Structure 1
Amino acid sequence: MDVEEWLGAENQLGIDIWNKKYCYNGETFDHWLDRVSAGDDDIKRMILEKKFLFGGRILANRGLQNTGLKVTLSNCYVIQPPEDSIESIFECASKAARTFSYGGGVGIDLSKLAPRGAKINNTASETSGAVSFTDLYSMVTGLIGQHGRRGALMLTLSCEHPDLEEFMAVKTDLERVTKANMSVRMTDKFMECVEKRETFVQTFVRPETKDTVVKNLDAYKFFKKLCYANWDFGEPGCLFWDRISSWNLLSEFPDYEYAGTNPCAEEPLPAGGSCLLGSMNLSEFVKDGKFQEEEFREAVRICVRALNGVLEEGLPLHPLAEQRESVNDWKQIGLGIMGLADMLIKMEITYGTREAMDICHRLGFIMADTAIRESALIAKEKGKFPKCNIEQLMASPYFIENTSEETRDLVREYGLRNSQLLTIAPTGTLSTMLGISGGIEPIFATHFERRTTSLADHDQFYKVYPPVVKEY
């Protein structure tokens, strides 16, 4: 088989994506398939049937470490947030540069950096503020080239930081921070102040001097500005941090905390953590208008095992020691979905209706329960992740709500191999290559024009006609 046969000869954009982003040194499609599947016949079959694709770094890099190339199999990382010192700020930039050079993306939280105007003991007398360093990290991202893609960066700031208003406005200047996504970490308390139109008190305490900076923020007025900025410029995004922290398998681990998110924000991670991604194409599990649940369960099982295989293979390949240590301790994987809108069209269900939400809820439970069960069975064979505390894990509301009694019994006996199992990535490149809807997004138009700068050295435009629209 060749790539034209796999993707369809009319899918020029998909063919170009495969050739420019995933094909190594002119290899054939069959050679690529063997390299990426690494002898796993089930995964090879699922890729051929377009039911599953690994994340982009696996599709591009798996096996290339055997040629002597320095590569990573993880799409993105979260770096230890910089402390409020010049040394730590630039050490973070160095870590980001090294990670970019291996093909990984980076998330950096800036909430520990002092706000603009805070007193410092050097010739500047006062700091330029946390937001001033967004330009530094964006510049570093742009400097380090990656084959077939640009470096990816997420910069975040807590709503409790006094520089929040300045952070929110950065992307309204189209010339600034062009190589990063930016998001605000929102707390429940902040959103309550928005809802009640109350003042939100922002506080920053410098650890060295105990100097305290306090600012009163009109929460509703700020949030309205943020919404307009997001509408006009696409950023900043919102990370509802209390919900993120409380709705996961590790929510009852008292000493565990997320340090930030990866660049597309689908996976919060501890310092040094990585997102090892793969996505299942839901539309290919529909036959004669019916979703094949048993086939889907088996596919989830296969994909969880496959991602664990890549996790072990990729452990020595992470660019930094802190990444190798963190991934070994927590063993995160991120199995997700794409093609949801195509699936609903094939089932003749309208996107966004109660019927659509009900089936999403059902499939979500099946996916979570099956993935957790399979991770427990892998733990039986290979041991649980080193930081696993079974009692704390089973006490998490997420675990309780998303597992069957059979799965709970297995976890009680063996623990889990992975601390994180599921995530829904945007799948922009993967879904575009296959000609399906990305992630959980609807199909917004019957056809559209897509501009890309990563497939050529200039702006390139493609007219795209989603195949499911033609068919249905």
Structure 2
Amino acid sequence: METAEQTQTYSAEEAYERSLAYFNGDELAARVWVSKYALKDSFGNLFESSPDDMHRRIAGEIARIEQNYPAPLTAGEIYELIRDFRYLIPQGSPMTGIGNPYQIASLSNCFVIGHSGDADSYGGIMKTDQEQVQLMKRRGGVGHDLSNIRPKGSPVKNSALTSTGIVPFMERFSNSTREVAQDGRRGALMLSIAIRHPDAGDFIDAKLDQGKVTGANISVRIDNDFMQAIKVGLPYRQQYPVDSGQPLYQQAIDPVQLWEKIIHNAWQSAEPGVLFWDTIIRESVPDCYADLGFGTVSTNPCGEIPLCPYDSCRLLAINLFSYVDRPFTPVARFDWELFRKHIQAAQRLMDDIIDLELEKVDAILQKIAHDPEDAELKRTEKNLWLNIRKKATEGRRTGIGITAEGDMLAALGLRYGSEEGTAFAVEVHRTVALEAYRASVVMAKCRGAFPIFDSGREKENPFILRLKDADPELYFEMLEHGRRNIALLTIAPTGTTSLMSQTSSGIEPVFMAVYKRRRKVNPGDLDARVDFVDAIGDSWEEYVVFHHRFRQWMTVNGYDTDKHYSQQELDSLVALSPYYKATANDVDYLKKVEMQGAIQQWVDHSISVTINMPADVSEELVGQLYMAAWEAGCKGVTVYRDGCRSGVLVSNSPTATNGESASFPTTRPALLEAEIVRFQNSKDKWIAFIGLIEGKPYEIFTGLADDEDGLLIPKWVNEGIIVKSRDAEGLSRYDFQYKNRHGHKTTIEGLSYKFNPEYWNYAKLISSTLRHGMPIEKIVDLINSLQLDEAINTWKNGVARALKKYIPNGTQARKQQCGTCQSTNLHYQEGCLTCKDCGSSKCG
């Protein structure tokens, strides 16, 4: 059941202005909310004008579910818990989907799909691919494991004779992800493999070939035998099948070489992440029910939810900062009583959201039943959602997490990463675990336990035993009454959530307390301040941005937040604050890993966290960090060395930071993301299709946008895919594909045939310089210097303008750009590259 369809609509401008007022002038938060979370239909009509409308919608729907149970919470009570992003924050899919009558989509943030006995067959692999796409179109992130695919060179009974191995299927699943988008939101995918698999080395190297596997995060499932073999210098056996007592194939390898490959690639490109698989399985409460279908096989895209096949999870974050009374003062204190009360309420709301999700799944199944396709075509999709419904019903899994850990500690005067700070953080997460499990037991008394609950299965689980030691009364109540939910806790990324709560993200420290942005100005305007003039003559004003809670610290302590500070003054301010030596690049790496391991003891799922490191850190230190994470009891770890993503940061010279030229693929990939740039010179209307790799221009097609050239496409289409193929005569052909309003694919065939041949020849020349890494500003200079006749000067000027869009603001340095707003103000956090200017994030 959904709320009645809304009748009052708002323009984007109205919603933005009202949201801007709601967020007290925070333009970034207002833009993120309007673009990602405001209730809208498929035609772009907005039915909510500020987050307050959204919170009332969510509260009303959860209250409807509450009526099914004893002592129901009212809509008003729920609204007070979630209003203003102050205490409890449903994340992502629940925020968008609850009470939304305009889309048939899941409320789950993430799924894992699994393997049947035929998972190694082409039919099984294609089934996995289809299931992945079906989930992504319903807004879910997906993870699956590739360890069941036979290794390269294995005999097969088809015309190929031997298997191609893992990597081609990584590319297939990656490409499928990139083809699926919902309301500007790209699909998210995690691919994993067991280190025991003979193709693990190829898997680890796959993402180093730029242009391939760009639509997935990758992680390696590392077992304790492998880690012990590294420590003592013994050989390690790889085999296929990886879990078989009688493998078809096995080989002894030097584990150190494979370990060094993992470390080198993580140092160079931030991937692969590592999953300490034996720790995950040993600690997992759902794995006590593995024989009933709850055996963990992979994780969601950011690694914080290990899942069994066809299970899913919904996420909700508790804003820790809001439980600090009188923050940033000498008498600041944490309100433990209110915190415990709200944890229990959060678990109750999460259980209600499972009921709402089951309604959504039923709606999806009903839509599938009424779709006009043949029943055979719909069989995989139907069975997928039936399996998901079964798992959600049997396990009722939840994902209670937190945000604002860094701000909470600072508000209490505790430094992130210090012994005192870590001890306090651990006590917070211990409290979350005990009170969430207490709430689940209380709900089991009046709502019933999850259907397959069996206390005998869980009695030796380390996490359950930790709860028993901490609170014996809770444990014995759980033995008597059961528990409502099979697993409860996580620490997920909270990128846009933290933007709207105006706090630090998740478990992470504050990224920066103070940073600078630039805005373009007209130097001729009255009162214009020009702080920087770039290489192409544009003028820029620099302005300081304070992290919201650092600004609050300034206000509390009497500092002027409107003053134009010098850099030296800013540095002095930060040094006086509780954020000093406590930001992402300041925190001691090993201390952060130790903190993660200690907190992990009280989180039954896992933790999404990134260890940020400077560009000059050694590979050896990355290896030490990974080993320390395993020894500390972490379930996984990801490192990000500043600038390590190939092409993310390149020095002011045309050479990269490692001294090598920035490179693109030597062979043009079959599919390229593309953006459309429209421009007008005099009376001529032009259009440019710009193929991108890692957000950087790789090729360009331009022509007149009129009926004669056949390039009239809807004005709302701004992105798509350029597909390279061969025509009947074997010549290269480039098609442009985009999604229409109904989500169906529309193709413009043969871009190269639709342009004036002279434009086409110059476009090939320009594309060649792009592909060989020539800085864009130099290419613009080259184009402007071309001596062309007057007839195509408008074309020349338009191409230069189109490419100038990709020159980073106010600098010659070539940096990766945000795919939403083209900003280069990006940082890597919680497994995703996140834009500080618009809040958009990209995983993979």
- Could you tell me the TM-score, scaled by structure 2's length? 0.52
1:262 pairs, out of 287, 300, 311, with 300
Q: Distance in 2 between matches of 1:206 and 1:51?
A: 45
Alignment partner of 1:74 is 2:108? yes
Aligned length: 458
Secondary structure at the counterpart of residue 185 of structure 2 = coil
Q: Distance in 2 between matches of 1:450 and 1:239?
A: 36
Cα distance in 1 for partners of 2:273, 2:334 equals 33
1:226-285 per-position Cα deviation (integer Å, ceiling 9, x unaligned): 122112211110111111111133354462410211111101111111011001111111
Counterpart amino acid of 2:76?
D
Name 1:417's counterpart in structure 2: 484
Shift of 1:471: 2.6
Query: Cα offset for 1:34?
Result: 1.4
Q: 1:375 to 1:244 in 2, by over 3 A?
A: same
Are the counterparts in 2 of residues 279 and 336 from structure 1 also a CA contact under 8 Å?
Answer: yes
Give the residue type in structure 1 aligned to 2:19: V
- Aligned residue number for residue 434 of structure 1: 501
| Closer, same or farther: CA 372–117 of 1 in aligned 2, 3 Å | same
**Against the structure 1 CA distance between its residues 254 and 309, is the aligned structure 2 distance closer, same or farther, given a 3 Å change threshold?**
closer
* Unaligned stretches of 5+ residues in structure 1: 452-461
Corresponding residue for residue 227 of structure 1: 263
- Conserved 8 A contact 2:152-2:199: yes
Q: Give yes or no for the alignment of 1:471 onto 2:493.
A: no
The counterpart of 2:423, out of the listed 342, 358, 383, is 358
Equivalent of residue 54 in structure 2, options 27, 32, 53 = 32
Residue 297, structure 1, aligned to residue 340, structure 2: yes
* Contact kept in structure 2, 1:206 and 1:212, CA below 8 Å: no
CA contact (8 A) 1:250 1:392 kept: no
Paired letter, 1:444: F
Residue in 2 that maps onto 1:17: 32
Once the two structures are TM-superposed, the CA of residue 225 in structure 1 deviates from its matched residue by 2.2
Which whole-Å CA distance do the structure 2 matches of 1:100 and 1:252 have between them? 29
Secondary structure, in 3 states, of the residue corresponding to 1:402? helix
Partner amino acid for 2:81?
M
- The 1:382/1:34 distance shift into structure 2, 3 A limit, reads same
Q: Distance in 2 between matches of 1:268 and 1:119?
A: 32
In structure 2, the CA distance between the partners of 1:249 and 1:211, relative to structure 1 (3 Å rule), is closer
1:458 corresponds in structure 2 to none
Q: Do the aligned residues in 2 keep the contact of 1:77 with 1:272 (CA within 8 Å)?
A: yes
- 2:315 alignment partner AA: L
Residue from 399, 406, 413 that aligns with 2:464: 399
CA offsets 1:5-61 (integer angstroms, 9 cap, x no match): 44221x211111100110022212232121122344333223224222111001111
Higher mean C-alpha displacement, 246-255 vs 127-136: 246-255
Deviations 1:315-354 (A, max 9, x none): 1423611111111111100000110000010011111111
Distance 1:198 1:448, change over 3 A: farther
The alpha-carbon deviation at position 418 of structure 1 amounts to 0.3
Q: Measured at CA, do residues 449 and 434 of structure 1 come closer, stay the same or move farther in structure 2, by a change above 3 Å?
A: farther
Q: Do residues 45 (structure 1) and 112 (structure 2) align?
A: no
What's the counterpart of residue 644 of structure 2?
none
> Is contact 2:190–2:218 with CA below 8 Å preserved after alignment?
yes
Distance 1:317 1:113 in 2: 33
1:389 match:
454
Task: Give matches, 1:132-281, under 5 Å.
Answer: 132-205=168-241, 212-253=248-289, 255=291, 256-281=294-319
2:148 to 79, 88, 112: 112
Q: Which residue of 2 aligns with 1:122?
A: 158
Per-residue CA deviations over 1:417-458 (Å, capped at 9, x if unaligned) read 10010000011221123222111111232235799xxxxxxx
Residue in structure 1 matched with residue 821 of structure 2 by the alignment:
none
Aligned to 1:326: 391
| Partner AA of 1:7 in structure 2 | F
The CA deviation string for residues 274-311 of structure 1, in whole angstroms up to 9 with x for no partner, is: 01100111111111221111111011011101011010
**Distance (whole Å) between structure 2 residues aligned to residue 238 and residue 287 of structure 1:** 38
List per-residue Cα deviations over 1:359-379 (Å, max 9, x = no partner). Answer: 122111111111111101111
Q: CA deviation at 1:465?
A: 3.3
> Which residue of the partner structure matches residue 284 of structure 1?
322
Secondary structure of the corresponding residue to residue 182 of structure 1: strand
Do 1:78 and 1:108's aligned partners in 2 also have CA atoms closer than 8 Å?
A: yes
> 1:259, 1:410 → 2: CA distance?
31
Give the whole-Å Cα distance in 1 for the aligned partners of 2:30 and 2:53: 16
Mapped partners of 1:269, 1:247: distance in 2: 13
Aligned partners of 1:224 and 1:234: how far apart in 2?
14
Amino acid at match of 2:414: I
State yes or no: 1:8 paired with 2:24.
yes
Letter aligned with residue 400 of structure 1: L
Q: CA deviation at 1:464?
A: 5.4
Does residue 370 (structure 1) correspond to residue 435 (structure 2)? The answer is yes
**Structure 1 counterpart of 2:56, one-letter code:** D
Question: CA separation of 1:211/1:370 partners in 2, compared to 1, >3 Å: closer, same or farther?
Answer: closer
- Measured in 2, the distance between the counterparts of 1:111 and 1:371 equals 34
In structure 2, list runs of 5 or more residues that go unmatched: 1-16, 41-45, 64-74, 327-331, 365-384, 519-542, 554-844
SS at match of 2:120: coil
Moved more, 79-88 or 415-424: 79-88
The counterpart of 2:412, out of the listed 322, 339, 347, is 347
Q: Which residue in 2 is equivalent to 1:455?
A: none
2:148–2:241 Cα contact (<8 Å) kept: no
Deviates more, 1:419-428 or 1:319-328: 319-328
CA distance in 2, matches of 1:42, 1:269: 32
Residue in structure 2 matched with residue 454 of structure 1 by the alignment = none
For structure 1, which segment, 291-300 or 428-437, has the greater mean C-alpha deviation from structure 2 after superposition? Answer: 428-437
Indicate the residue corresponding to 2:586 in structure 1.
none
1:174-220 CA-partner distances (Å, limit 9, x unpaired): 21111111000111111111222322110003999x87222333222
User: Larger deviation: 11-20 or 426-435?
Assistant: 426-435
Amino acid at match of 1:342: D
* Structure (1 or 2) with the greater helix fraction: 1
Question: Structure 2 CA distance, aligned partners of 1:161 and 1:331?
Answer: 32
**Identity within the alignment, %:** 30
Please state whether the residue corresponding to 1:107 is helix, strand or coil.
Answer: strand
Code of the residue aligned with 2:181 in structure 1: it is: G
Cα distance between partner residues in 1 of 2:229 and 2:137: 42
Contact kept, 8 Å, 1:339 with 1:437, in 2: the verdict is yes
- Distance in 1 (CA, whole Å) between partners of 2:23 and 2:456 is 46
Task: Mark the structure with the bigger radius of gyration.
Answer: 2
RMSD: 2.2
* Secondary structure, aligned partner of 1:392: helix
Between 440-449 and 397-406, report the one with greater CA deviation.
Answer: 440-449
What amino acid is the match of 2:495? G
Distance 1:124 1:58 in 2: 46
Partners of 2:517 and 2:353 lie apart in 1 by 32
Which of 66, 91, 94 is 1:55 aligned to?
Answer: 91
Tell me which moved more, 199-208 or 373-382.
199-208
CA contact (8 A) 2:147 2:242 kept: no
Q: How does 1:67-106 map to 2 (within 5 A)?
A: 67=102, 69-81=103-115, 83-106=119-142
